[in-house]
Amino acid sequence: MKHSMLKSTAKVILGTAKTMSKDPTRFHLQLVSVERLEEQDLCAITATDGHSLSHIKLKDEGLYKQLEELQTAQAFLDESELLLLKAQLTAQNKSDRHAIKLVFETPAIKKHEVRYPNYKQFIPAFKKDDYHEVGLSIELLNQLTEAVKSAHADGKPSIKLCFRKEDVRAPILIYPTNNDIGIAEATMVLMPMRV
């Protein structure tokens, strides 16, 4: 394979992998799907654990050509292949001449006999009038995550986001849903106008 994917694409694949399943009984979800789309020569990177899903479309001619050479529209990377990709990215950081390629230890399509789910059915199709958008900076999201974690001794917090339907500029209230360390009430507030 003579084509190299972009460094940014390799980072996207590795970042998306954080959404794949950690459950060994759901081995068909312990994969990152790398797909060649017909629309505008785009590629799609997808991972899901069955509860959450990451799906990113991007333009990368090198990756697109690699999938063409594999003669497949969709390939899958498992954990060992993701480690190989990470090693290539590290090598590329040291020398720009190092190509970043999809590497499969065994042929990707034959290896995974369980069918990957049709992720498209999980992505809702909204019209612009059907939803409210809320912008969050990554820094604010990280602060929120740390604040919510502090109310949970087991390290597995979950939250409820409460929006006022008729006022998209109103504060958003965040409540931990499984407080387990005796806090009577914990409330965080996001102020959309400050984001």
- The per-residue pLDDT for range 125-142, each reduced to its tens digit, is 766 666 666 666 778 777
CATH of the domain at 113: 3.10.150.10
Question: In this structure, are 111 and 138 located in the same domain?
Answer: no
Q: How would you write 143-183 as a 3-class SS string?
A: HHHHHHHCCCCCCCCCEEEECCCCCCCCCEEEEECCCCCCC
Domain edge (last residue) among 122, 140, 168? 122
Question: In this structure, are 62 and 142 located in the same domain?
Answer: no
Question: In this structure, are 66 and 149 located in the same domain?
Answer: no
Would you say residue 8 has pLDDT above 50? yes
Tokens matching residue 97:
């001449």
Q: How confident is the model at residue 156 (pLDDT cuts 50, 70, 90)?
A: low
pLDDT tens digit string along 12-21? Answer: 999 999 999 9
Question: In this structure, are 99 and 181 located in the same domain?
Answer: no
Q: Report the range of poorest mean pLDDT among 104-113, 125-134, 143-152, 153-162.
A: 104-113
Q: Is residue 43, in this structure, part of any structural domain at all?
A: yes
Residue numbers of the domain that contains 27: 7-122
Domain edge (last residue) among 122, 137, 161? 122
Q: Is residue 1, in this structure, part of any structural domain at all?
A: no
pLDDT tens digit string along 71-114? Answer: 888 888 989 889 988 988 888 776 655 567 777 654 444 444 55
Amino acid identity of residue 21, one-letter, is S
A 10 A CB-CB count for 48 gives 22
Give dist(CA 36, CA 55) in Å, integer: 13
Rounded to 10°, the helix 79-94/7-16 angle is: 150
Average pLDDT over residues 40-47: 88
151 in Cβ contact with 176 (< 8 Å)? yes
Total domain count for the chain? 2
Question: In this structure, are 157 and 138 located in the same domain?
Answer: yes
pTM equals 0.69
DSSP 38-91: SGGG-EEEEEE-SS-EEEEEE--HHHHHHHHHTT-SEEEE-HHHHHHHHHHHHH
Give dist(CA 169, CA 132) in Å, integer: 10
pLDDT for res 92? 78
